[in-house]
Amino acid sequence: MTVTNINLGELFQLESDLDLKFEAGRISLGGNRMLLLHVGAISSLRKELIETLGTERARGILTRMGYASGQRDAQLARRLLPGASDEELLGVGPKLHEAEGFVLADPVSLNINIAEGLYTGEFIWKNSYEAETHTEDFGLHTDSVCWTLVGYACGYSSEIMGKFILHKEVECVGKGDRHCHNFAKPLSEWDDDAKQHMKYFEPDHVADQIIQLQNEVEHLRYSLDTTAFSKMVGESEPYRASCQLLLKAADSKVTVLLLGETGVGKEMFAKALHNSSPRASNNFVAVNCAAIPEELIESELFGVEKGAYTGAQKSRPGRFERAHGGTLFLDEIGDLSAAAQAKLLRVLQEGEFERVGDTRTRKVDVRLVAATNIDLKQAVDNQKFRADLFYRLNIYPMVIPTLRERHEDIPILANHFLEKYKARHGKRTPGISENALDELKRYNWPGNIRELGHMIERGVIISGNSELIKREHLFPQWEIQTPTVPILDHDPEQTTRIEENESTDIESMVEKTLSKCGSMDNVESLFLSTVVDQCGGNLAAAARRLNMSRPQLVYRLKKHDNT
């Protein structure tokens, strides 16, 4: 029997070897589970790999995938055809690939002797699905594109021969040739250029390289600052006092606890502390504890060992290891789980920790800066935060002033954000109108500096080129008067008048609210939704502002949704 006239129906007992259990959702050939996939689906995956990872990395992944498929088909052929000749065994591979719909393989010549390790082959591939899909997505390429087909051929022939057989595609429809044409022989018989092809069969640990690049980018981002406070803006007395207090802690290793409302710039102060410290040349690693699911926070902070849980296929370092020698910033530290709090306390006290699923103790040298906008002392009293961890963190507490306390910094910050967002959005906005600046000074700023930045960005986007930012650009959705705070000039009589009018203002607000909303349920619904909107949809932050738990807030919101 020659290679060209091998009949799979004669070699395989297809009635028994091919098992189509459609009602069970399974297809198998010789006990191996198979899949029927749309070519369009594979083409979409292939296209995304190329666009995401680049041509070289995508080629390697697809080549190794094809190699694994060829190996399994070779193992299937050996098991089902124990008495087949060498030529038959090697010829079954191309026929299986045909039957699976990948390509029509036409052997030009095939000289094999498994016992003596001899193998040379020449093949013409017709109707290659891979050349077809590549040209549809990207047009003609400068090199061959049948990567999974080459991988399959190498995997099948190498498994049968017991040594690596390298197939080279010398012509390819994907680069404009008439046919896809490849030659094959043992790796040792190829010239030096075989090394160029072998790199696609080597594992490529993309995740490790991404993490390394991420570390380098983080380090580069923070090393670009020419001074410790180059990205921070302000002239007010509260701001200058905070900067001076921060600088006094910079040269030490003391743990710093940054306190203050959401949006006051705690992370900016943490970066400034790092950049003005002896650790500035090492990594600054920031973690938002509230943004990481509770079940993942320990592995994110301390790393994980391979096999620690389902899906942990390799060991990886946590944020503490990445910040070794530098600074670790833990934002929203009040949201840490009890288990993570206990591990964090050990790191702070002993300078050591264990990865999740590991028993080996690791030493680490990290400067910790923590931040929160909740009352940690109250959380300790409510048994939601460890007292020993609180006292360990509370060595050098700093309260970051709110924007309401930095009244004279508002024009400076507004112009700082204006320049930033003009560059980002390619606008030529000349400035902010006096009327708009007055409104900014009168606004209460529940979201502080972050809210101011977002508001200026909105004004830059909405205003036209060469047009001043006006009040309506900053507050376009508000039909009622902008919530404001009075501008005091330290007049005692004015202060007294304001205090005397507060109770009258509250009574008037209650009367207007009830007349518009009609019921207490409507009032509560409006109140809750307004606070959630002010917190940017962050339910945890909204719950803290309302002095309730997140589940309590969710319950109340759902209650009003159903009414």
In the chain, what percentage of residues exceed pLDDT 90?
A: 38
pLDDT at 104 over 80: yes
Give ∠ CA 405-407-410 in degrees, rounded to 5.
Answer: 125
Identify whether the C-beta of residue 394 lies closer than 8 Å to the C-beta of residue 380: no
pLDDT at 481 over 60: no
Average pLDDT over residues 279-301: 87
What pTM was estimated for this model as a whole? 0.48
> Whole-angstrom Cα distance, residue 488 to residue 441?
11
Residues in the chain: 563
Closest by CA to 354, choosing from 389, 324, 329, 317, is 317
Position 512 scores a pLDDT of 66
Over the stretch 132-144, which tens digit does the pLDDT of each residue have? 999 999 999 999 9
Position 486 scores a pLDDT of 47
Identify whether the C-beta of residue 303 lies closer than 8 Å to the C-beta of residue 356: yes
> Whole-angstrom Cα distance, residue 386 to residue 554?
26
Q: Locate the DSSP E strands across 400-494.
A: none
CATH for the stretch 208-401: 3.40.50.300
> Whole-angstrom Cα distance, residue 158 to residue 181?
19
Position 6 scores a pLDDT of 55
Q: Is the dihedral of CA 414, 419, 421, 427 positive or negative?
A: positive
Give 108's strand partners. Answer: none
Identify whether the C-beta of residue 119 lies closer than 8 Å to the C-beta of residue 112: yes
The domain segmentation of the chain, as residue ranges, is 3-204, 208-401, 411-474, 504-561
213 Cβ partners below 8 Å, 6+ apart? none
Query: What CATH topology corresponds to 504-561?
Result: Arc Repressor Mutant, subunit A (1.10.10)
pLDDT at 214 over 80: no
Position 283 scores a pLDDT of 92
Average pLDDT over residues 493-510: 57
> Whole-angstrom Cα distance, residue 447 to residue 262?
6
Question: Could you give the count of Cα atoms lying within 13 Å of 554 in the half-sphere of its Cβ?
Answer: 6
pLDDT range class, residue 501, cuts 50, 70, 90: low
> Whole-angstrom Cα distance, residue 387 to residue 377?
8
> Whole-angstrom Cα distance, residue 13 to residue 61?
34
Over the stretch 368-418, which tens digit does the pLDDT of each residue have? 999 998 899 999 999 999 999 999 999 999 999 999 999 899 999 999 999
Same fold, 3-204 and 411-474: no
Position 290 scores a pLDDT of 85
Q: For residue 474, is it left (φ>0), alpha (ψ between -120 and 50) or beta?
A: alpha
User: Which structure tokens are listed for 498?
Assistant: 């304001």
Query: What CATH topology corresponds to 3-204?
Result: Muramoyl-pentapeptide Carboxypeptidase; domain 2 (3.30.1380)
pLDDT at 120 over 80: yes
Maximum mean pLDDT: which of 160-164, 191-195, 351-355, 512-516: 160-164
Give the residue ranges of DSSP H helices in 471-538.
471-474, 492-517, 520-534
pLDDT at 338 over 90: no
Over the stretch 21-39, which tens digit does the pLDDT of each residue have? 666 777 777 677 777 778 8
Average pLDDT over residues 74-83: 83
pLDDT at 502 over 70: no
Q: Between the CA of residue 298 and those of 173, 320, 324, 336, 394, what are the distances in Å?
A: 51, 11, 17, 9, 22
Average pLDDT, the chain: 82
User: Which structure tokens are listed for 72?
Assistant: 């399994």
Architecture of the domain defined by 411-474: Orthogonal Bundle (1.10)
Higher pLDDT, 16 or 376: 376
Label the pairing between strands 327-331 and 352-353.
unpaired
100-114 as b/e, with b when 16 or more CB fall inside 10 Å?
Answer: eebbebbbeebebee
User: Which structure tokens are listed for 249?
Assistant: 């802690």
Specify the long-range contacts of residues 239-247, CB closer than 8 Å, at least 24 apart: 239/401, 239/406, 239/409, 242/269, 242/398, 242/400, 242/401, 243/272, 245/398, 246/272, 246/273, 246/276, 246/398, 247/276
Q: Between the CA of residue 503 and those of 83, 97, 226, 297, 509, what are the distances in Å?
A: 99, 84, 51, 46, 10
Average pLDDT over residues 204-232: 58
pLDDT at 441 over 60: yes
> Whole-angstrom Cα distance, residue 527 to residue 337?
30
